[in-house]
Structure 1
Amino acid sequence: MDKKTFAQFLIASTLILLVWWAASYVLYGPHARGRQAPPAAPPAAGQEGRAPALAPAPGAPPESLDETAPTALPPAPTPEPEPEPVEAVLDNGVLSTTWTNRGAALRRLQLLDERYRAPYKEAGKRPVLTLLRDFQEGLLGDTIEAVTFFDQEPDGTVRELGVAAADAVYRLEEREPDRLVFRRTLADRHGHALEVGKTVRLEANSHHCDVTLEFRNASEEPFEFSCALRGPAGIERESLQSTYLGVRVAKFEGDDDYDIDKIHPRNLAKKGPQTDSSTNIAWAALVNHYFAAVMLPEDRSWVDTVVARVVTDTDVLNARGRWRPGTVRRESDRQTLARQNAAVVINTERRRLEAGESVTWRYRLAAVPKEDEVLASYGAGLEGLVEYGMWPALSRLTVAVLNGVYAVIPNYGIAILLVTAIVRVILHPLTLKGQLGMIKMQKLQPQLAELQRKHADDKQRLSQEQWKLWQRYGVSPLSGCWPMLLQMPILIALFGALRAAIELRHAGFLWIGDLSRPDTIFRLPIYLPFLGNEVNPLPILMSVVMFVNQRFMSQTPATAQARQQQAMMKFFPIFLAALFYHMPSGLCLYFTASTAIGALERWIIEKRTAGIELKPVGEGDRKRRAKRRPSPGEPGKKGWLDKLQKLQDRFQQDRRTARRRGKKDGGKK
């Protein structure tokens, strides 16, 4: 392949890769891949909504959820005194959960594994990861936020009576190392009384709590009721601008097939709450880049709808703690960034209870890392929470190979380098063939130039003669492209693996603190266009290696067009450095190592083939080649390149015919 064809191929490949990345972000990205859940439908006239809105954080703009909230009546006063506020901790060595009797809610959930430490440092160390807490002050998760009673009027209309329950104080009746029992009676002014019992059990060495809700009709008349169960109300972010945080709702479609809808908080902030009213809802989750909090109901028939709502992060809004001043590019963006968290609410189906009758509903609250092995243990299609991108199977294979190398050499940076070397060794036969083809093409340039001079006015004849010349010397114009084409799926798979695999989180190498993030060594006091304020040396090193490789490969151009193409190629390393500047450092490490090894490989090949002479292939080889791949214009089975050549020749002939007709018509006039 000559330098012109190589340059065109390299530019075309880069454009294809850019289009693929853009398309994969739109089609498969965490904010858009999958079907978006439809916006919440407004309630019909005269009909109240199902659950009250989430209270906005202090200083935050009010949520536009009031139109969907029922007219909440204050609970009837109870003769017994209100219990004192109390908290209880359940700890199994994997999870540490803190519960409060206000709403029988989850105040805090921490993952204790050293591998899952927080994405930030305090006093030089990464603290334990607090995955769930009240990110919006006063808004706790895993609590019944409202109960709705349904009364049928004499005229047949149904009246909905809502009781706010999130701030109701429960009695802590039982407190054991692995089990808590809360109880409270929720009543309204119309004689409805619903006794709610909540049992929380934390299994040993597990990532989940098993929750049992018991509802008993404590009044003297039957009634129908439903409840709004608020699940995770906000989740810890890996970064402030993370696009991976969002709500996931899975529907069971039969035969272990689950369809997952994805909702991003940005859409919630723009459009308001979104309701998924699909049938057979299997679970609902709140996810960030590497972790998920999942609500898995035991009986799917209880689930009516799932509502996703915006949560306003009070610490981001008020520039506190991790999000102190200076952590946001523009302080004016704080209000927008603060409203990029979410909460999940499950609305239950209506249930009828006779006086004194009880009914129970069980679900599992799981706080899991996005590891295939952990997710697969829960079933229900949770493996779909790991978003590897376009080719998940190849990305999983890449992660498996990296983990295999890591088991021998416990450093993921070295593992990436070894995998890079393995890939180059596997592709060496193709690289050698492509390099030999390029050398032969360079040696054929004088003869090709002579053909171009000789058949400058006959493009069809020129193409045929070029094809015969290539066949005579056993050269394929595309022989140098195959190694690059075969590396692209590996590069894309590694990109998906480094983007999604939690195994590489906090994995360091040399100065790189985290191979799943850019290798930022310090931050500038100013923001630069496209680059921000981060100083990432690895993309710069990658561009330097590519530039040196270009200088090593470059030859003196023979024509003005070749000189222009060579000048354009000099900017290619700068372009790639800007493209990779904010990408995972593990990907930059692979690309840098692959470029360096490729340069060394080409240098060795050129040394070994320095004295090669351009000779025609043997008569037998030429006959076999001619039989397998006839030249244009000869009978036989046509390949795709021959068909393309035929179309080009036909196009050129049509142009010449049209030009001759135009001249004749002009002469007549």
Structure 2
Amino acid sequence: MEQKRLLLFVTLSATVIFVWQMFIFPRIAPPPQPAAQQQAENAPAQDEPEQDGLEQDLPLVAQKPLKDGEVKPQPEQPKEQKPAFARNPRRTIVLGSLDPESGYFLQAKITTQGAAVMEASLNDPLYRDLNDKKKPLKVLDEFSGAKEVSRSLQIEMKQLDKKLEPFLTNTRRTDWKVLEEIKDPDDPKIIQAVHLGLTAPDGSIEVHKVFRLEKYPVPPDEDFRQFRNTKQAGYLIHFDLKLINESSQGQVLDYQLLGPVGIPLENADNTRKFRDVRIGFLQNDMSIDTETLNAPDIIEEVQAKNVEKYTRAFQFAGVDVQYFAALLSPDGKNFKPELVNGEMRSNYSASVEPVLIQQNVKNEAQSRVTIKVNSEEIELPAGGETEHSYALYAGPKRESLLGPPLKAAEIMDFGFFGPVAKLMLWLLTTLHSIGLSYGIAIVCLTVMVRGSLYPLSRKQALGAQKMKELQPQIAELKKKFGDDREKMGRAQMELFSKNNYNPLAGCLPIFLQLPIFFGLYTALNNAVQLRGTPFLWIDNLAAPDALFKLPFNLPILGDNFNLLPLITVGLFVVQQKLFMPPPTDKDQELQHKIMNYMMIGMGFLFYRVPAGLCVYFIASSLWGICERKLLDFQAKRRPATTTDPNVIDVTAESKKSSSNKKQDKKTKEKDDKPEKKGWFARLQEIADQAQAQAALNEKQRDQKSGDKGPGKKSKKRR
């Protein structure tokens, strides 16, 4: 009995082992492949991932000897063998230099993870980090999200990602192999370009990336600042992408290229310009049509899952903030846009679309956005390859730097008063070039502006002074005519006419100053040269003066105490007291109250404007106050004469008396006419004559309607 059990046990055990070795084990543990050979060019980083494709030793199992004629059973082979994938070490390659004398404008850090730009910094001393001026400004920087890191110029390839999926990685997360580092021939310590590559585990697809910076030393006969402000090529990161089909049959490949990431949003609490996506589309005549997409609109499209893809060929696409821009542009001899169905199409990209990197819940306008380029489907034959070249501009927003070949000057938002803004900016730069600080240059610019408007502002001040002198007469007229507004209006206009006062004349200087005000405001918001420029206690003329930090946060105003806006509003109030006549009735009292409330509102409105703009307003207000005091001094030496309101006849007059008055007025104007008049004086005279003629025509129409009315007889003097 025991022998039977032993024999049964041995037979069953042998059967189980045979089935396990021949059928089950090969399915769950396929034969290993030899690991790919790799030449280690760089030492691996500490966080180097484990290697895939390691060989495994299979256990040896004793086999029963075969009988005569018996065929050895073959194990079932797996349907598909897992290819080997050798991982590369993590490295960071630094291109360019932070030394402004090196000839490079940038320092760019390239990471092997995803073969992308980790960060890019400007080495110009003019562009420093506002939080720590000892550090250079990073115009590009990686952003670590919840799922993965976003970096500039990283790509996605679904064909290659599918082959990397079994190894739990993709083109963005895996480390690419450093194939070549190109040194600066003049300084071997500086790397000028780097060549990286990635091959599919089965060897069917090969992708190459080349990042390159060009060197532009300042010529001996040129000024450093002038050269840096005009040399666009120094701010370009050149990027070449090559796709190779290494398989024995044709393939269709495509890629998605991420645009610039990490452009800094400075002075976020006070700025009115946030991160905007800018795309410059090519028109049929090769001109540029610029499209602007702000962060809230992009968030709305993303949440609605309806992000628009633009199929037109683009000249540039990227992100800009107040003073800096990062723009991607197709480059190289292979870029050949063509007209298709009345629309310019690119042979590089099928479309370009906005991308939301990170949403700011508190303030959507401060969210991080960029663009993504979706390539055309590229048909490559066996052994075929294609190359697409791009240039990424990462630098300041200056018209001299954004011109051709980038053709992105339209991203400078000068607004409706663009010519005036450009003139103001040119004057500021010119004054600074002769040795003045930008703060003093703004004061000098104010003097130039107010000086050119002096004839008109003097006329306005004289009119305000005369209005003050006429207030008693106007009060008498109101007592005389009471609620009869029609007669009161006629009498008041006649009083103004006899005293040579035009109530609308004071509006002309204000209207002429409006373009200058808006132009200067726009110029200061676009003047990157004012960024970080100190003046008196002010650290940055392009931001509020922020005298000190408040221990609490005020709604709308923030947590900084800004002194310049308070001084500006205070001077506005003083000017108002000097120019506005004292109220003589309830209507004027109400008007004064409204003006006082407006001053309070302007205080809130101006509290966060750039300090440079406040300097302009302060200088302009001081000029106006001094001008008014000078006129008051001259008036004391030569008192003005006014007409007695009791002699004003508000009844309809004859044509003869009207013509006599008109002749008297012309005689008086002729006597008062100066020998020479400037352009502003002639313009003012034309306005006065037009106003007088309009008043006379209205008066004659009233006379005519009164003469022809029912039950009325015309009055004639014989």
Task: Confirm or deny a common fold (TM above 0.5).
Answer: yes
Q: Does 1:222 align with 2:264?
A: no
> After the TM superposition, which residues 428-447 of structure 1 pair with which residues of structure 2 at under 5 Å, given as runs?
428-447=454-473
**Pairwise CA distance, 1:567:** 4.0
Asked whether 1:350 is paired with 2:383, we answer no
Within 1, Cα distance between the matches of 2:400 and 2:391? 18
Per-residue CA deviation, residues 483-510 of structure 1 (Å, 9 max, x unaligned), is 2222121111111111222111011110
Determine the structure 1 residue equivalent to 2:136.
Answer: 128
Would you say 1:110 and 2:138 are equivalent positions? no
Residue 245 of structure 1 pairs with residue 275 of structure 2: yes
Q: 2:193 aligns with which of 173, 179, 197?
A: 179
SS in 2 for 1:374: coil
Within the candidate set 204, 208, 230, 1:197 is matched to 208
- Partners of 2:118 and 2:152 within 8 A in 1: yes
Correspondence 1:426 to 2:443: no
Of 570-579 and 560-569, more deviation after overlay is shown by 560-569
Tell me the distance in 2 between the aligned counterparts of 1:207 and 1:357: 33
CA contact (8 A) 1:99 1:107 kept: yes
Query: How far did 1:237 drift?
Result: 2.0
Structure 1 residue identity aligned to 2:291? D
Kindly indicate whether residue 430 of structure 2 is the aligned counterpart of residue 401 of structure 1. Answer: no
How many Å apart are 1:209 and its aligned residue? 1.8
Tell me if 1:367 matches 2:403.
no
Q: In the TM superposition, what is the alpha-carbon distance from 1:351 to its structure 2 partner?
A: 1.4
* Correspondence 1:138-537 to 2 at 5 A: 138-148=149-159, 164-177=170-183, 178-186=192-200, 193-205=204-216, 206-241=234-269, 243-272=273-302, 274-298=307-331, 299=335, 300-312=346-358, 340-380=367-407, 382-455=408-481, 459-537=485-563
Superimposed CA distance per residue, residues 251-294 of structure 1 (whole angstroms, 9 cap, x where no aligned partner): 11244532222222333344417333231222211222211111
Greater radius of gyration (CA): 2
Distance of 2:150 and 2:81 partners within structure 1: 23
Q: How many Å separate the matches in 1 of 2:89 and 2:701?
A: 87
CA deviations 1:377-400 (Å, max 9, x no partner) are 5442x1122223332222111111
SS at 1:114 equivalent? coil
For the 8 Å contact 1:293–1:365, the answer to whether it is kept is yes
> Which residue type is aligned with residue 383 of structure 2?
G
| 1-structure distance, mates of 2:511, 2:364 | 40
CA separation of 1:86 and 1:529: change in aligned 2, threshold 3 A: closer
Aligned match for 1:620, one of 667, 678, 686? 667
What SS does structure 2 have at the residue aligned with 1:93?
A: coil
Aligned equivalents of 1:208 and 1:84: distance in 2? 28
Alpha-carbon shift at residue 556 of structure 1 (Å): 4.7
CA distance in 2, matches of 1:457, 1:128: 71
TM-score normalised by the chain length of structure 2: 0.68
Task: Identify the match of residue 88 of structure 1 among 82, 85, 93.
Answer: 93
Post-superposition CA distance 1:560-611 (Å, at most 9, x none): 4334433443444333221100111111111122111101111101111232
How many angstroms apart in 2 are the aligned matches of 1:564 and 1:615?
27
Residues 557, 288 of structure 1: alpha-carbon distance in 2 compared, 3 angstrom cutoff: closer
User: 2:640, 2:527 → 1: CA distance?
Assistant: 49
CA shift in 2, pair 1:589/1:297, >3 Å = same
Q: Aligned runs of 1:583-622 on 2, under 5 Å?
A: 583-610=609-636, 611-614=638-641, 618-621=665-668
- Of stretches 455-464 and 345-354 in structure 1, the one that deviates more from structure 2 is 455-464
Shift of 1:235: 2.0
Report the CA distance shift for 1:473/1:413 in structure 2 as closer, same or farther (over 3 A). same
Give the Cα–Cα distance (whole angstroms) in 1 for the partners of residues 548 and 353 of structure 2.
41
Are residues 532 and 463 of structure 1, via their aligned partners in 2, closer, same or farther at CA, if it must alter by over 3 Å?
same
Look up the SS of the partner of 1:301 in the other structure.
Answer: coil
Greater Cα shift, 173-182 or 108-117: 173-182
Q: Distance in 2 between matches of 1:630 and 1:560?
A: 28
Structure with greater contact order relative to length (CA < 8 Å, sep ≥ 6): 1
Amino acid across the alignment from 2:241: L
**Consecutive unaligned residues in structure 1, runs of 5 or more:** 1-74, 152-161, 314-332, 636-641, 658-669
TM-score, normalized by length of structure 1? 0.73
Map 1:634-653; keep pairs closer than 5 Å: none
State the one-letter code of the partner of 2:310: S
SS in 2 for 1:232: coil
- Over 3 Å counting, the alpha-carbon distance change for 1:336 and 1:164 in structure 2 is farther
Residue 411 (structure 1) shift:
0.9
- Larger CA deviation: 617-626 vs 607-616: 617-626
SS in 2 for 1:364: strand
How far, CA to CA, are the matches of 1:629 and 1:540 in structure 2? 38
What is the 5 A alignment of 1:532-551?
Answer: 532-551=558-577
Confirm or deny: 8 A CA contact 1:427 1:483 kept in the other structure: yes
CA separation of 1:628/1:309 partners in 2, compared to 1, >3 Å: closer, same or farther?
closer
1:455 deviates by: 5.0
CA separation of 1:77/1:176 partners in 2, compared to 1, >3 Å: closer, same or farther? farther
Aligned partner of residue 372 in structure 1, secondary structure: coil
Structure 2 equivalent of residue 28 of structure 1? none
Aligned partners of 2:88 and 2:365: how far apart in 1? Answer: 34
Q: Which whole-Å deviations, capped at 9, do the CAs of 1:71-118 have from their partners, x for residues lacking one?
A: xxxx99654632222221110531001112222211111111111111
Tell me the secondary structure at the aligned position of residue 108 of structure 1. strand
Secondary structure, aligned partner of 1:237: coil
1:445 offset after TM fit, Å? 3.6
Distance 1:197 1:406, change over 3 A: same
Question: What is the SS of the residue equivalent to 1:184?
Answer: strand
* CA distance in structure 2 between the aligned counterparts of 1:186 and 1:335, rounded to whole angstroms: 43
Q: Is the 8 A contact 1:233 1:344 kept in 2?
A: no
3-state SS of 2:347 partner = helix
Q: What is the letter of the counterpart of residue 168 of structure 1? A: T
- CA–CA separation in structure 2 for the residues paired with 1:204 and 1:630: 68
Q: CA deviation at 1:525?
A: 2.1
Aligned residue for 1:32?
A: none
Label 1:239 to 1:202 Cα distance change in 2 as closer, same or farther (>3 A).
same
